[in-house]
Structure 1
Amino acid sequence: MSSSRLIEPVFVDRFWGVNPSRVQKYEARIGNDGYVVELTNNTCGCRSWKVSGIPCVHAMTTISYLNKNAEDYVAPWFHTAMFLTCYNHTISPLNGSSMWPEAPYMKPLPPQKRRLPRRPTLKRKKDQSERDNKGKTKHTISKVGAVNRCAICKERGHNRSICPTRPEDVASTSRPKNKNGKVEPVQVYPVDDPAPHVEPVQVDDPVNDDPAPHV
C-alpha cells in the first residue's frame, strides 16, 4: 500500500495526546474529546479504522507515540501479496459460437414495441452540464459590428425605413412601437362601403306594344 494514504505523524503529534491504560490499549485525547484505541484488535472509538482498514488519526497518534511502523497496522487486503492473489486464477479458453451445442429451448424474442402516451419528444436529451448552465449563456450570434443593407437601393449603412431614395408610396415594414419599446397591435376598423348607384332603366311594356283591336 502507498504510504501517501496514511496521515503523517508530524501533523497529529502536535495536537493529540496519548494516555496509556494497559498493554495495547490507549486513549487518544485532544481537549475534551477522547477515543479508545486498541492495537491488538485494530479498533478505535470512532470506528473509522475498522471500516476503512486504514489507521485513523487517533490510531496514528498512538502508533507514533509507540514509535512503531503504521504500515504494519493496515488491513491485509491492502497488501501487495493479497492484491496478487486476485490474479492467480487463469481464464480457461473457449471454443467459438459455431461449436456450441444447440439448446432445446425456444430462442428469446425481443420485447414488443409499445407506443408511449402523449406526443413523442423530438428534442435531444441534454447533458447535466448543459442543464446546469441554462440561462447563463446565450447561443445567439451577436449583431455588434454588423452593417445593414438597404432593401431598396442595396447600399450599406441604412435600412429601407430611412432610405433617401424610397418612394413616398412605399410604406415601411416596421410596425410602430410604444414608449416601452413594444410593438403596438394593428387596429383594423370596419369600412362602410356605400351602396352602388343604379341608374333607372325604362322598360317598355310588351302588352301595350300591340294595337288595340278594332270593334
Structure 2
Amino acid sequence: MKTNNDAVWVGRGPITPSAQRKLELAKTHSRWWIAKWAKDADKAIYQVAKQPEKYVVNVKERTCTCREWDLCGIPCEHAVSALAHLCAKPEDYVSTFYRRDVYLWTYEDFIHPTNGDNL
C-alpha cells in the first residue's frame, strides 16, 4: 500500500525505490540518536548513542558497529544520524549497487525467449 510520501520520491531519486524506502525508514528512526564526533582528523568517526545503546560509525569507510550498513550498503539509522551531524545527504552514501543508473544498465538488455522442454 502506497502512502502520499511514497509518491514524492518513487521514480525520481538517484537510488532505486526499494533502497529509498529503507533509507527513509532509517531517516525517521535516526532522530532519536545523538551523534558525537570522535575528534579524528578526517571528521569521519562518530559515537552514536540512545541510552543505553551506543554504536561507532565511520563515515569514510561506510561502516557501523551494528553492521547493517556494512551488510546491505544502505546507511542505518545510526549512520544517518552521523551524516546529519555532517550536513551530508544520506543518498550520497548508498552503495552504487542501488543507484538508478546502475540498475538500468544491468537490465538494459532483454532476455531472449527459449523453447520449451519438448523441443
Give the alignment's TM-score, normalised by structure 1.
Answer: 0.39
Deviation at 1:39, TM superposition (A): 0.9
Secondary structure at 1:68's aligned position in 2?
Answer: coil
Deviation at 1:27, TM superposition (A): 0.8
Quick check: 1:51 aligned with 2:36? no
1:113 counterpart residue number = none
Amino acid across the alignment from 2:103: F
1:12 counterpart residue number = 30
Secondary structure at 1:81's aligned position in 2?
Answer: helix
- C-alpha distance 92-4 of structure 1, shift in aligned 2 (>3 A): closer
Native 8 Å contact 2:45 2:59 kept in 1: yes
> How far, CA to CA, are the matches of 1:77 and 1:31 in structure 2?
33
- C-alpha distance 58-8 of structure 1, shift in aligned 2 (>3 A): closer
User: Looking at CA atoms only, which structure, 1 or 2, has the larger radius of gyration?
Assistant: 1
Q: 1:84 aligns with which of 95, 104, 109?
A: 104
Amino acid across the alignment from 1:83: Y
Cα-Cα RMSD: 2.5
Deviation at 1:8, TM superposition (A): 5.4
Q: If each structure's strand is expressed as a fraction of its own residues, which one has the higher value?
A: 2
Q: What count of residue pairs does the alignment treat as equivalent?
A: 96
Q: 1:40 aligns with which of 51, 55, 60?
A: 60
Amino acid across the alignment from 1:49: W
> How far, CA to CA, are the matches of 1:71 and 1:5 in structure 2?
11
> How far, CA to CA, are the matches of 2:47 and 2:55 in structure 1?
6
- C-alpha distance 90-33 of structure 1, shift in aligned 2 (>3 A): closer
- C-alpha distance 90-16 of structure 1, shift in aligned 2 (>3 A): closer
Quick check: 1:64 aligned with 2:81? no
Deviation at 1:4, TM superposition (A): 2.5
Q: Relative contact order, CA 8 A, sep 6+: which one is greater?
A: 2
Amino acid across the alignment from 1:46: C
Give the alignment's TM-score, normalised by structure 2.
Answer: 0.67
Native 8 Å contact 2:26 2:75 kept in 1: no
Identity of aligned residues (%): 28
Deviation at 1:61, TM superposition (A): 0.9
Native 8 Å contact 1:9 1:64 kept in 2: no
Point out 4+ residue stretches in structure 1 off by more than 6 angstroms.
none
> Structure 2, unaligned stretches of length 5 or more?
1-14
Q: If each structure's helix is expressed as a fraction of its own residues, which one has the higher value?
A: 2
Deviation at 1:67, TM superposition (A): 1.6
